[in-house]
Amino acid sequence: MTSFKREEPTLGEKIPLEIVQLASGFSEIGESYPADLDRVPLESLPILRKAHFRSVKDSLLNRARKRSGGAVILGSGGTTSEPLISVIPSGMFLKQIRQVWDPLKPDDVVANLNVGGELGSMFPFFSSLCDVSNAVSVPLGPLGDQKAVERWLPFFEAVGVTTLAGTPTQMSIVLGLLNETNRRLSTLKKLIWTGEAFSAAALEEVKRYGPLEMYGAYGSTETWVIGVSYPECPVGTFHWVPYQHVEFVEGQVTVTCLDTDCINPIVRYQPGDHALVCECACGRPRAFSVEGRADEQVKFLSILFYPREPYDVVSSHPDVHASQIILIDNGSPQERMEVQVVLNVCDGQVDIESATRSIRDHLLGKLYRLAHETHDRPERIVVRAVEQLNTNPRTMKTPYIVYRSSKKEG
Ligand SMILES: [Zn+2]
């Protein structure tokens, strides 16, 4: 490997011992830590995952209450009663982040399109970032569909929005409307995206719109910001921030926070993404590219596959603008797969029937195990053309796989 090869740090040298003691001090996970913490290399410590994190919830909240420095309780995933709780110091590590990534200037007017409330992390992050950058913050929240965006556009012009902060899904709704109606926001110059990967379809809307500076932040609610990107970086490539120590254990992002303000147990924590160390076109150090979720395999009919496989195959079809895999009644004897596609429309003409047939043939041609399984029950895989994919209204993300029960279908 190149200059990225690093000596495995011993605790107490590069990794503050307090950070590891913080994790080992949680009674729920403490037993898996060695007694002589000050002498062991980092790699001998256990890997923590979401399930560990979930198990320390009560102690974590207790710790947050006892803290003198102030904290914010955030959450992700799960249901309303069982969100994955994360406690972030009130400063949100912004001082450390802005040492290497400072996308906002005082003359920026930022439309914050992230979900404001429901424990969402991105909205308060961008509010605070505006605050410390002396920029103007416009706390809009998700605008919903293009009709709603249409109503807000005069306001965007009136306040002089320079920056959209949100998920790629949210941005593609705004830019998609502007592209379709051949309009431009005269003051818009920047996008700051986070929360999900940039789909090819969303990126296409950005390119169609014209030159915009793109900044990105990659991380999770538990770890906080792990990597950041700049306008010169390819989309999906990030540079890890100096307050995080990042390992790539079996291809997975594995994070240890180096800042002793940390409240969460972030020691060799895996948020669940695959990534590769790389060199970035921008020339900055500590680059990695995020390669998608480290998903578990899904069982459908009698075969096992990674959800990404059918998604990638369908997305590679020339008629497909965007796609989503819906697994209906997964695990039941009636389970079936519906592939929803937004078709590319050329000159306003599209033969939906022949396009969806061709996409289905393409999918089964590439994934022969699926073809074999559905040979005598073709109704188990259906390709359906839709105008818009399913978006999670709470997070404004567009997942590439959706699990659904037929009982909830309208
Ligand atoms: Zn870069």
Question: In this structure, what CATH number is given to the domain that contains residue 365?
Answer: 3.30.300.30
Reading the block at residue 261, the tokens are 């303000």
Distances (CA, A) of 174 to 113, 117, 279: 10, 21, 32
Residue 41, in any domain of the structure: no
Q: What spacing in Å lies between the alpha carbon of 316 and ligand 1's midpoint? A: 26
Judge if 148 and 272 occupy the same domain.
yes
3-state secondary structure of 221: coil
Judge if 214 and 355 occupy the same domain.
no
Q: What spacing in Å lies between the alpha carbon of 100 and ligand 1's midpoint? A: 12
Residue 345 is predicted with a pLDDT of 81
Q: What spacing in Å lies between the alpha carbon of 101 and ligand 1's midpoint? A: 11
**Angle 358-363-368 (CA atoms, 0-180°, nearest 5)?**
130
Judge if 228 and 304 occupy the same domain.
no
What DSSP designation does 294 have?
-
Judge if 286 and 307 occupy the same domain.
no
If we measure between CA atoms, which residue out of 347, 236, 349, 233 comes closest to residue 290? 236
Judge if 96 and 240 occupy the same domain.
yes
d(CA 268, CA 46): 7
d(CA 4, CA 88): 29
Strands 163-166 and 190-193, how do they pair?
parallel
Q: What spacing in Å lies between the alpha carbon of 386 and ligand 1's midpoint? A: 36
- Among 293, 310, 338, residue at a domain's last position: 293
Query: Look-up: residue for tokens 């809009």?
Result: 140
Residue 410 is predicted with a pLDDT of 41
Q: What spacing in Å lies between the alpha carbon of 54 and ligand 1's midpoint? A: 33
Judge if 313 and 272 occupy the same domain.
no
d(CA 185, CA 215): 19
Q: Is the dihedral of CA 259, 165, 390, 369 positive or negative?
A: negative
Q: What spacing in Å lies between the alpha carbon of 209 and ligand 1's midpoint? A: 22
Q: What is the CATH number of the domain that holds 201?
A: 3.40.50.12780
- CB atoms < 10 A from the CB of 408, how many? 7
Domain holding 352, by residue range, is: 298-408
Judge if 340 and 234 occupy the same domain.
no
Residue 13, in any domain of the structure: no
Judge if 324 and 261 occupy the same domain.
no
Q: What spacing in Å lies between the alpha carbon of 287 and ligand 1's midpoint? A: 7
Q: What spacing in Å lies between the alpha carbon of 175 and ligand 1's midpoint? A: 24
Q: Check if the beta carbon of residue 51 is closer than 8 Å to that of residue 57.
A: no
Q: Check if the beta carbon of residue 28 is closer than 8 Å to that of residue 51.
A: no
* Residue 278 CB contacts under 8 Å (≥ 6 apart), including other chains: 237, 287, 288, 289
Judge if 286 and 352 occupy the same domain.
no
* Residue 302 CB contacts under 8 Å (≥ 6 apart), including other chains: 373
Residue 26, in any domain of the structure: no
* Residue 342 CB contacts under 8 Å (≥ 6 apart), including other chains: 201, 320, 321, 322, 323, 385, 386, 387, 388, 389
Q: What spacing in Å lies between the alpha carbon of 285 and ligand 1's midpoint? A: 8
d(CA 374, CA 364): 9
Residue 168, in any domain of the structure: yes
Residue 1 is predicted with a pLDDT of 40
d(CA 373, CA 346): 34
Q: Check if the beta carbon of residue 228 is closer than 8 Å to that of residue 241.
A: yes
Reading the block at residue 48, the tokens are 């923590």
Judge if 276 and 302 occupy the same domain.
no
Residue 9 is predicted with a pLDDT of 65
Residue 269, in any domain of the structure: yes
d(CA 4, CA 391): 38
Q: What spacing in Å lies between the alpha carbon of 231 and ligand 1's midpoint? A: 8
- Among 236, 262, 293, residue at a domain's last position: 293
Q: What spacing in Å lies between the alpha carbon of 244 and ligand 1's midpoint? A: 17
Residue 79 is predicted with a pLDDT of 56
Residue 31, in any domain of the structure: no
Number of domains in the chain: 2
Residue 204, in any domain of the structure: yes
Residue 315 is predicted with a pLDDT of 93
Judge if 393 and 356 occupy the same domain.
yes
Judge if 218 and 338 occupy the same domain.
no
Residue 383, in any domain of the structure: yes
d(CA 163, CA 128): 15
Query: Mind listing the pLDDT tens digit of every residue in the chain (410 residues)?
Result: 444 445 566 677 789 999 999 999 999 999 999 988 888 899 999 999 998 999 999 999 999 998 888 999 999 875 566 788 999 999 999 999 999 999 999 999 999 999 888 899 999 999 999 999 999 999 999 988 899 999 999 999 999 999 999 999 999 999 999 999 999 999 999 999 999 999 999 999 999 999 999 999 999 999 999 999 999 999 999 999 999 999 999 999 999 999 999 999 999 999 999 999 999 999 999 999 999 888 778 888 888 888 888 999 999 999 999 999 999 998 888 899 999 999 998 766 788 999 999 999 999 999 888 898 888 899 999 999 999 999 887 788 898 889 898 885 44
Q: What pTM, to 2 d.p., does this model score? A: 0.85
- Among 251, 272, 293, residue at a domain's last position: 293
Residue 10 is predicted with a pLDDT of 67
